[in-house]
Amino acid sequence: MRKSPHPATSPTRRTVLKSTAAAAAGATLVPNPVSAASSVSAAAPTTAGDASEAVEITLSVNGHKHALTVEPRVTLLDALRERLALTGTKKGCDRGECGACTVLVDGERIKSCLTLAVMREGSAITTVEGLADGDRLHPVQEAFIRRDAFQCGGCTPGQIMSAVACIREGHTGSEEEIRQWMSGNICRCACYQNIVAAVADAAREGRG
Amino acid sequence: MRSFSYASARDSADAARMAGRTPGAAFIAGGTDLLNLMKDGVQHHPHLIDVNKLDLSRVTESASGLHIGGLARMRQVAEHHAVRARFPVLAEALLASASPQVRNMATIGGNLLQRTRCGYFRDTGSACNKRVPGSGCPALQGWNRGHAVLGTSDSCIATHPSDLAVALTALDATVHVLGPAGARRIPVGEFYRLPGDTPQIETSLRPAELITAVEVPRYPAASRSRYLKVRDRATFEFAVVSVAAALHLRGHFVRDIRLAFGGIATKPWRSAEAEAELRGKNLTVQRVEQAGRVLVRAAVPRQDNAFKVELVQRALVELVLDLGGLR
């Protein structure tokens, strides 16, 4: 497992939430003893299997390769959060509507709840954990802080990943264009004004 | 999501073979609709065949028209220079659809096969003739603001949600498919079926057939074409009503016009009668208004969706007059 850039030395809100999520994951990913047994089977086939059989895959996330065994039904989002402990990517609606799970795959923004982990072998995946350069935040992250572009933070990783792609795509010519091209990311705190300002800032700096 | 097995196909023939020998299997490409349907329990497939490795994602233009691979992504097609320049209604319909993230994922073939957004269909706690044949249609007397006023039956009034399919219907596209029995071509007008007594059967695709491409013929009206989508939000929302129009004018004389409509019917709706009001005549406000009246002549409005009958006529007038330079 890769190292966290900010190792926690004492119980924090994040580590408490992580352990809660792991417990919940056990409940949701292992619905019955049969699949639990097969999901740890070392003899799992690599390309196909019966309904209860897991698959061995390698995911390339933030420049690191991770070997893991997943049932085909595991989404990329669940694999990132619950198997690789990369909980920066958020699970909001789990239906592709809110954008909280946005990650980059081969440089393009996608919704990680709408794709299966097994479909993303061989792709380069970037999550919000992979944006910063050591302790130096990505310019879009800095712009979000400077512009106070969040309240609860639930949508923020998805907003930031989407903004990075939006700037690269060149859809930041006006406030209206930013709103249009950031519309796949919903903010329940309605920080849109400041999100748009942060995206415009980062775009102007030309360092999306 | 219920569990399923998974395999990745190497090429089209491999995919067709795999599907042919696995009853109940589904192809997965973008997955943006299929996975939601499976998460919600609306559909279950014991086996998924991943077709993303198939070499079907190219967009090419030739003298006869546009050839769009079934696995081309929505964004890729919307950004293609030939699509933007000579088939603008396709680019506009695609960019009016979904969100940037989904457009990076979703394929053209999958877009055509997306299921209706009818809330009763998507809720396994409700009856639905499309999901469980014979169980009834709560939308007939229930919440039907988003539902169809044309092409309906006593079994189903759900609309088809694809914007792209409306644009392709206006442009007389052809859907190329490959199945265990070989390849065939289906005009888009015959691809979608009216619900009748069998709303669970939505297309003329046969079991295990895969959409390999969509072909759009070149004709003069295609380059003067537009898509108008009226919806509850400015972006990332399905159509309340939509109009795709392609117009070939000489002066004010209408040499050719193609009109298709979304949001108002159980399938992408072409109206030859409305077109006939305009083709071969001078374009005037009165004639476009008359075309709108002809379009909705057979409409069956219900308690929540009666406004669509008026709204679609206004959208038609707005779009055609704008396209024809009369406003």
Q: Tens digits of per-residue pLDDT, B71-100?
A: 999 999 999 999 999 999 999 999 999 999
pLDDT of res. A149: 98
pLDDT of res. A53: 84
Nearby residues of B303 by Cβ (< 8 Å), 6 or more positions away? B144
The Cα–Cα gap between A120 and A118 comes to 6
Residue B117, SS3? coil
Out of B3, B98, B236, whose CB is closest to A73? Answer: B3
- Are B101 and A49 in contact (CB < 8 Å)? no
Q: Are strands A55-61 and A124-126 parallel, antiparallel or unpaired?
A: parallel
**Chain B residues near residue A155 by CB distance under 8 angstroms:** none
Give domain status of residue A105, yes or no: no
The Cα–Cα gap between B25 and B208 comes to 8
Nearest Cα neighbor of B36 from A90, A21, A115, A71 is A115
Query: Where residue B327 falls among pLDDT bands split at 50, 70, 90?
Result: confident
Separation in Å, CA of B125 to nearest CA in chain A = 18
The Cα–Cα gap between B268 and B113 comes to 12
- Are B102 and A111 in contact (CB < 8 Å)? yes
**DSSP code string of B168-192:** HHHTT-EEEEEETTEEEEEEHHHHB
The Cα–Cα gap between A158 and A109 comes to 10
Beta strands in chain A (DSSP E): 55-61, 64-70, 102-105, 108-111, 124-126
Give domain status of residue A2, yes or no: no
Domain that includes residue A173, residue range? 139-204
- Are B39 and A95 in contact (CB < 8 Å)? yes
DSSP letter, residue B165: H
The Cα–Cα gap between B163 and B167 comes to 7
Chain segment B96-127, per-residue pLDDT in tens: 999 999 999 999 999 999 999 999 999 999 99
Tokens 């989404």 — which residue?
A: A75
Class of domain B220-323 as given by CATH: alpha beta
Chain segment B258-268, per-residue pLDDT in tens: 999 999 999 99
Give domain status of residue A8, yes or no: no
The Cα–Cα gap between B225 and B321 comes to 12
Question: Are the CB atoms for B282 and B253 separated by under 8 Å?
Answer: yes
pLDDT of res. A48: 44
pLDDT of res. A11: 44
**Chain A residues near residue B237 by CB distance under 8 angstroms:** none
Out of B5, B50, B101, whose CB is closest to A119? Answer: B50
Q: Which structure tokens are listed for B284?
A: 């005037």
Out of B4, B38, B104, whose CB is closest to A108? Answer: B104
**Chain A residues near residue B32 by CB distance under 8 angstroms:** 96, 111, 114
Buried-exposed string B78-97: b where 16+ CB fall within 10 A, e elsewhere: bbbebbeebbbbbbbbbbbb
- Whether residue A128 lies within 8 A of chain B, CB to CB, comes out as no
Q: Within 10 Å of residue A21's Cβ, how many Cβ atoms?
A: 15
Chain segment B16-33, per-residue pLDDT in tens: 899 999 999 999 999 999
Separation in Å, CA of B149 to nearest CA in chain A = 27
Give domain status of residue A98, yes or no: no
Chain segment B209-242, per-residue pLDDT in tens: 999 999 999 999 999 999 999 999 999 999 999 9
Question: For chain A, how many structural domains are there in total?
Answer: 2
Q: Which of B48, B104, B231 to mutate to test the interface with A (most CBs of A within 10 A)?
A: B104
Instruction: Say if residue A82 is in the same domain as residue A144.
Output: no
Encode chain A (208 residues) as per-residue pLDDT tens digits: 333 344 334 444 444 444 444 333 333 333 333 333 233 333 333 344 445 589 999 999 999 999 999 999 999 999 999 999 999 999 999 999 999 999 999 999 999 999 999 999 999 999 999 999 999 999 999 999 999 999 999 999 999 999 999 999 999 999 999 999 999 999 999 999 999 999 999 999 975 4
pLDDT of res. B278: 98
Residue ranges of the alpha helices (H) in A30-155? 33-39, 76-78, 139-146
- Are B100 and A118 in contact (CB < 8 Å)? no
Which domain CATH number covers A160? Answer: 1.10.150.120
Give domain status of residue A148, yes or no: yes
Distances (CA, A) of B160 to A123, B39, B203, B239: 33, 21, 11, 10
Which domain CATH number covers A44? Answer: 3.10.20
Give domain status of residue A20, yes or no: yes
- Whether residue A102 lies within 8 A of chain B, CB to CB, comes out as yes
- Are A181 and B48 in contact (CB < 8 Å)? no
Determine the residue of chain A that is closest to B48 in CA distance. A72
Nearby residues of A201 by Cβ (< 8 Å), 6 or more positions away? A143, A146, A147
pLDDT of res. B94: 98
Domain ranges of chain B: 220-323
The Cα–Cα gap between B208 and B20 comes to 6
Question: Are the CB atoms for A99 and A181 separated by under 8 Å?
Answer: no
DSSP letter, residue B141: T
